[in-house]
Amino acid sequence: MKILLFASLSILPILAVEPLAQRIVHTDPSKYRAAKSVHGGAGQLDYLALFDAHSLDTNLFFLHRGIIQPKSGIGAHFHNQCEEMFVIFNGEAQFTIDGRTSLLKGPAGAPCRMGHSHAIYNPTDKPVEWMNINVSALKGTYDAFDLGDNRVGAALDAIPVFMTMRLDKALLKAVTNMSGGTGSAQYRRALDTPVFAGPWSYVDHLVLPPGASAGTKVHREVAEFYYVIGGDGTATIANETAAIHAGDAIPVQLNDPHSFANTGTQPLEFLIVGVARQSSRRPID
């Protein structure tokens, strides 16, 4: 988003918004950059920042997409001013929350609330497709306190003792003519508002079969992003339409009318994250 500057502080800045096709960001592995020993973790991950703190009207701090290399991970660390969630789309990884570790099979994730610690480790011999979503208590504010623990060889709990999320299509429920759209969508709220302490609002899982669409919605208190897990289609936001493909992330600002359609031959699958206005959320614990 470009801001036109004015000499007089009494004149409000005018926001010049890029066309929708330019606001959609694309996962491009050729642009991944290597990061070693992240928060004291083992090995290396390769990642690309899709969104930053300026990408949504509300308090999304960043959206990162990349891979965790074999025998690599992100070391244990606390967040006190933001909440984060690691997501894996394939393979399996050891997730740690507050020093307790369990193996999760992708696609899955685990949110870490403010005031708690987390880590992730890929114990396998194959790269794991990974995403990191960070939402801050105050816009543009980030913190982390490393614990110096790479979690390699951590004892595993067979059943996680922390909150997890599964992006399992078998859990989806059919919704006919979703929001006035066409066809039968498959939908599930994977994580609801009470899971979070800060301004996260929800995490949704949506699949549109070929030819189906989700009709127009407007959110006054929640900004969103839609991440395309798979498939091809179109996004229509505030009377602009652009093509979307697997790996794309689409920002939806407050008050933006938005709809989506599957124009391809395969299911169009989304991970959707809503981030509320801070004033519309309950006080932080």
pLDDT digits (tens, 9 = 90+) for 245-260: 999 999 999 999 999 9
Same fold, 29-166 and 169-280: yes
Query: In one letter, which amino acid is 59?
Result: N
Tell me the pLDDT band of 15, cut-offs 50, 70 and 90: low
- Please answer whether residues 190 and 204 qualify as being in contact, where contact means their C-beta atoms are separated by less than 8 angstroms: yes
Judge whether 190 and 205 are in contact, CB under 8 Å.
Answer: yes
Distance CA 155, CA 151 (A): 9
Residue 66's DSSP bridge partners are 47, 130
pTM of the predicted model over 0.85: yes
Q: Which two tokens stand for residue 143?
A: 């913190």
The dihedrals phi and psi of 169, each to the nearest 5 degrees, come to -65, -25
- Residues 40-52 have a mean pLDDT of 98
The reply to whether CATH 2.60.120.10 applies to domain 29-166 is yes
For all residues of the chain together, what is the average pLDDT?
92
pLDDT at residue 112 tops 70: yes
What is the tens place of the pLDDT at every residue in 202-235?
999 999 999 999 999 999 999 999 999 999 999 9
* Rounded distance between C-alpha atoms, residue 14 and residue 185, angstroms: 38
Domain boundaries along the sequence of the chain: 29-166, 169-280
Mean pLDDT value of segment 46-67: 97
Residue 2 is predicted with a pLDDT of 35
pLDDT digit string (tens) for 267-285? 999 999 999 987 544 433 3
CATH superfamily of 169-280: Jelly Rolls (2.60.120.10)
What is d(CA 121, CA 141) in angstroms, rounded to the nearest whole number?
A: 26
| Cα separations in angstroms, 41 against 76, 101, 116, 151, 159 | 7, 15, 17, 8, 23
DSSP assignment of 61-120, as one string? Answer: EEEEEEEEPTTEEEEEEEESSEEEEEEESSSEEEEEETTEEEEEESSEEEEE-TTEEEEE
DSSP symbol at 153: T
**Residue 104: how many CB atoms within 10 A of its CB?**
21
Angle value at C-alpha 268, between 262 and 269, nearest 5 degrees: 150
The CA distance from 197 to 188, in Å, is 21
Secondary structure letter of residue 247 according to DSSP: T
Alpha-helix runs per DSSP H in the chain: 20-23
Model confidence at 78: pLDDT above 60: yes
Q: What is the mean pLDDT of residues 166-192?
A: 97
